[in-house]
Every structure is written in C-alpha cells, then in structure tokens.
Amino acid sequence: MGQGKLKSVLVSLTAVTAIVSGCGGNAGSGGTASTSPSPSGAPAVSANYGDTGGIKLPLVDKPTTLTWMLVSDNANLADSMVIKEIEKRTGIKLEIQAYSSQTFKDKLKVIVGSGKLPDIFHGLTQQEINKMGGQGALTPINQYLNELPNFKKLYVDDKDNNWVMKSWSDDKNNMYTWPIYGLNRDVNHGFLYRKDIFDKLGIKEWTNTDEFYQALKKLKEAYPQSYPYASKTKENIFRDWAYGWGIGGTSFPAYYEEKSKQWKMAYTSKEFKDQLDFMKKLYNEGLLDPEFITDTDASWTAKMTTNNKSFVTFDWIGRLDSFANQVKAATPDYNLRYANPVGPTGNVRSLPKISNFGIVVPNGKNKELALKLLDYLTSPSGSSLVTMGIEGETYKLENGKPVYPELKDLPVVDIKALETKYGMWLEGMYLRPDKRSVYYAFTEKEQEAQDKINKAKKYEPADPELKFTDEETKTIADLRSSLDKAANEFATKYVMKKEYTDAQWNEWLQSAEKLGANRLVDAYNAAQKRYDEAK
C-alpha cells in the first residue's frame, strides 16, 4: 500500500477541479432529503443501505460531481459497480483519476505542485500534509465533526483511537488526515517451522527460547549437514527478532519502555546484547545458517523447500501454504506451520489498528461534501460496499463468508480480482474494511496463526505514535540511517566473529554515542512529553 514520499509542497491552493454546474458553494452542506438523484438527475426513492452510522443518504439534493485521485490499474472504473452504486446511494458522481502504483507518486508530485487538486486524494507524508494544511490548502476535519458521525465516533469519542487527533494533527491541533480503521490482520509474520520434520523426529514445538534452542540442536543431530534456522531478511533479522526481547517497535531502533515510560535505544540496550549473544550461540553451533545475512529470496526458498537443509525461519504467513503447494509433488507431507514466538517476552509485534495513507480533502468549494462522502464510506454500510460488494447482487453469504457467483471460474477470488471486476478495494477508498471480506479469509494454517497468538495474547504493546517538530524530524532523519548502518555492521560481526565479546560490545556503545544514539532518543522523549501533556 504505497504512500508517496514527496518533497513538493503546495504554497497556495488554486482551483479545485471538475465542479458540476448547479452544485453551488453550499452543495455539500448536508442534504437530508428522503429522495436521492438517479444518474439521470430524476429523484429516486431512498433505499435501506444498512448501518450508515448516523449520516443521512443521499448526501446532496442535486447531482454533484467530485474528483478523486487514487491508485488503481482498473481502466474501467467509471462503469464499475462501486462507482455507480456510490452515485445511486449518495447522489455524488465520482470522476476517478486513477494511476498505477508505479506512476502514482510522480503524478501526485506534479498535481500537488500545480495546485489543481482533486477533491480527494492521498499519498503525502504527515509532515507534508500538516505543512499544506497550515498554509490553508487542506480542510481541517476537526471543524466539521458534527457533520461526520462516523469519524467522530471512531476517532474522537473512542478513547483507544483518539490518539490520532493528537499525533496526526498540526501544531494548532488541526487534523487534516482521514485514517483507515482495521485494515491490518492480527498476525502477518512470525517464526515458521517444518512440523512434518518435528513430528518425524519426535520434537515438540517450542514454548520458550531454551526449547527453541534445544529443538534446533535435535534437528542438527538428526541432519548434521543442515543448518536448522535459515533467514532471507538479511540485516532485518535483528529488527524482526527484537520484539521477542522487548525492544521492537514501529520506530525501531527507538522503542518505548512501558515500565519507565521512556523512549530508549534498542541498539545499546542490554536486551539487544542478550539477543545477539543468543544468535551468536546458534551461529557457533551451526544452528543458524552462516549465510543468514546474505541469502536471497531464491536461495532461502531452496533451503526451506529442499529436504534436510533448513527447517525453521521467520516470514509471512502466506508462505505456509505457498511452500507446501510448491513442493507437494516431491514432498506431499511438507507441513510448514506458524510457531510460538522466540525471546524472553514471548511476544510478536502488534500491528496498528489505524493506518495512515495520507487521505485528505483540499480546502475547496466541495470540501464539506467530500468529507461527508468519506464519512459514509467509513460507516459499516459504506465499508461493506467498498470491500464486500452488494449482498444478493455481487455476492451471497455462505457460512458467513462472501461468495461471488460471477467469479466462480477464478482459481482465487482475492482483492485484486474484486478491484478488476467491481471497482472494490481501491487504494485510498477503503476506510474501514469489512472483516468478512476475502482479505480476511484465512487458510486453515493462517487461521491457526491468528488463533495461536490471539488466544495467548502474545503481543508486544504498541508504541505511542508521536508528533515531532521540524527540528526533531530532521534530527531523527539525520541520525537514524548512520546508526542503522553502523549497528547492522556491528551486530553481524558480533554474531559471526568469535573474537567479538564484551570488549567489542563496550566499544560499540561508545561508537553509538558518537553517532548520536542519545540525541535520537532525546527527540522521542521530548515529543513524548508533549504528547503526555496534551489533552
């Protein structure tokens, strides 16, 4: 789900594109009539479209056009089910400006620079958005909360979610970004193991770090030429394992320590040294593939799918079935399964409930109507339309799951197929995905992964999402890349070189300080202080 990282920032907003005549300056002021315009402009009786969360349909009493720039390869969106149904329900005709994910960033840069903005678009960073908003180019959502019941309920009234109003707003507490709620699956990555080999050797799945180590030792004894643990993530292995040692997070290498309520530096922590010491032990005993820092996707795949090479790894849950399908002819009993976490905390990463794609509404004459459309698409009714379709027309429910009769000949009905056929799941348009959607239809192995972590609640607490000053942002950007590079180089040598011991660790602590480790953490703690003091 790409977001454009653009340097171009709009200085002043000019004309907003494509306004249909007759719309008028207050066209979006909230029609609450009981009739909605059909595509021809003739009134049509309002239907029951499910739970709209309190926003009334249609949104206008005259045919109105809005422009929306988003990511899609579908060239026929104007004729798609979703776009036509949105017009039927709301009275809004959408002119979609669609660009492929490969070209979207460059197109957005040109359009933002020109000032001729669509009524809705996404893809800027939060810093760029707040700068544009402060210059008057974007619409502050917080000024229209009384007209946006779904936004208000989710992001203002809900104490678990209203941090976005502090973290994403600008210095004047104006909020310009429309969030996406509930997009992420609960579990998407973790340790994977060859259950068929474990069962053959009578090895039980580990439940703690020592059992993990003992399992790898037994695998090595049974297959002396093997390297039981293989990795393809190169230096990211240090970040991926960090959650199990309590130092992981979306801001890695900075992490928030819940006990002290302070941000700290993972690369200089005792926990990081403990993690490296454990990896070093695995490496020295031939339990960790010596090519763990250089393996490509292809070489790693060969090791994980060839018998007696490697049996344990860390990756995406989709691999559970794809590897089995890949080797089913040669190895019909191949059974890759999601394993318990490794590390003292026994936790995996917490994926955020709220995602930021930088969805914004320019400060033009259609701003209120555009916000209301986003609010409708955030409602259960709107989200179901965009990510499920229309029950009884595009899909029917079987055992609580959608089945698409028109797509019955496809080998897999995924969100790409739904985008192509119906204009569903358009990046930038799905704002609150329906959990019944095919995107959350797990295979048996993937569901086991969800259940394993959810039942045991093995999630590392999510770190606060902070709002930084320009100076703090620059400090973090300037320091992080050099710290990452130096830390990855040190960690690799520490694991692989026998002569690297406590003396080299102490030297690294001094090097990290010279590279600005404490200054980076200071920036986080300064932002945290403001966050804690904000009401």
Last-in-domain residue among 404, 422, 440:
422
In a domain, 29, yes or no: no
Q: Which amino acid is at 276?
A: L
217 and 178 share one domain = no
42 and 145 share one domain = yes
Instruction: Quote the CA–CA distance of 99 and 103 in Å, as a whole number.
Output: 6
Among 181, 219, 232, 136, residue whose Cα is nearest residue 432? 181
In a domain, 452, yes or no: no
Our measurement of the distance from residue 383's CA atom to the centroid of its chain's CA atoms, rounded to an integer in Å, reads 17
In a domain, 491, yes or no: yes
145 and 164 share one domain = yes
In a domain, 24, yes or no: no
42 and 153 share one domain = yes
8 A C-beta contact, residue 287 and residue 217 = yes
Give the pLDDT score at 304.
Answer: 98
E strands of 280-424, at which residues?
A: 312-316, 336-338, 354-359, 396-398, 401-403
DSSP state of 131: H
In a domain, 202, yes or no: yes
**Residue with token string 């990795």:** 231
167 and 146 share one domain = yes
209 and 328 share one domain = yes
Long-range contacts of residues 388-394, Cβ cutoff 8 Å, at least 24 apart:
388/424, 388/434, 388/436, 388/437, 389/81, 389/418, 389/422, 389/424, 390/81, 390/85, 393/81, 394/81, 394/422
Among 504, 510, 522, 515, residue whose Cα is nearest residue 481? 515
Instruction: Quote the CA–CA distance of 170 and 60 in Å, as a whole number.
Output: 31
Among 267, 273, 240, residue whose Cα is nearest residue 482? 267
Last-in-domain residue among 311, 338, 365:
338
CB atoms within 10 A of CB 435: 12
206 and 331 share one domain = yes
Give the pLDDT score at 471.
Answer: 94
Domain of residue 269 covers 189-338
220 and 269 share one domain = yes
**DSSP characters over 206-236:** PSSHHHHHHHHHHHHHH-TT--SB---STTH
Instruction: Quote the CA–CA distance of 57 and 48 in Å, as a whole number.
Output: 9
Instruction: Quote the CA–CA distance of 214 and 220 in Å, as a whole number.
Output: 10
Domain count across the chain: 3
In angstroms, the first-to-last Cα distance of the chain is 32
Instruction: Quote the CA–CA distance of 122 and 107 in Å, as a whole number.
Output: 12
55 and 116 share one domain = yes
78 and 139 share one domain = yes
Classify each residue of 107-129 as buried b or exposed e, where b means 16 or more C-beta atoms within 10 Å of its C-beta.
Answer: bbbebbeeebbbbbbbbbbbebb
Q: Exposed/middle/buried for 164, CB within 10 Å: 0-12, 13-18, 19+?
A: buried
Instruction: Quote the CA–CA distance of 419 and 426 in Å, as a whole number.
Output: 7
In a domain, 53, yes or no: yes
pTM over 0.75: yes
Q: What are phi and psi of 514, to 5 degrees?
A: -65, -30
Which pLDDT tens digits describe the chain residue by residue (535 residues)?
433 333 233 333 222 222 222 233 333 333 333 333 344 343 343 468 999 999 999 999 999 999 999 999 998 899 999 999 999 999 999 999 999 999 999 999 999 999 999 999 999 999 999 999 999 999 999 999 999 999 999 999 999 999 999 999 999 999 999 999 999 999 999 999 999 999 999 999 999 999 999 999 999 999 999 999 999 999 999 999 999 999 999 999 999 999 999 999 999 999 999 999 999 999 999 999 999 999 999 999 999 998 899 999 999 999 999 999 999 999 999 999 999 999 999 999 999 999 999 999 999 999 999 999 999 999 999 999 999 999 999 999 999 999 999 999 999 899 999 999 999 999 999 999 999 999 999 999 999 999 999 999 999 999 999 999 989 999 999 999 999 999 999 999 999 999 999 999 999 999 999 999 999 999 999 999 999 998 6
291 and 168 share one domain = no
In a domain, 45, yes or no: yes
In a domain, 276, yes or no: yes
8 A C-beta contact, residue 45 and residue 379 = no
Last-in-domain residue among 283, 306, 338:
338
CA distances from 315 to 122, 164, 212, 231 (A): 29, 30, 17, 9
Angle between helix 209-222 and helix 270-284 axes, rounded to 10 deg: 10
Give the pLDDT score at 292.
Answer: 97
Q: What is the CATH number of the domain that holds 293?
A: 3.40.190.10
Among 244, 160, 214, 232, residue whose Cα is nearest residue 453? 244
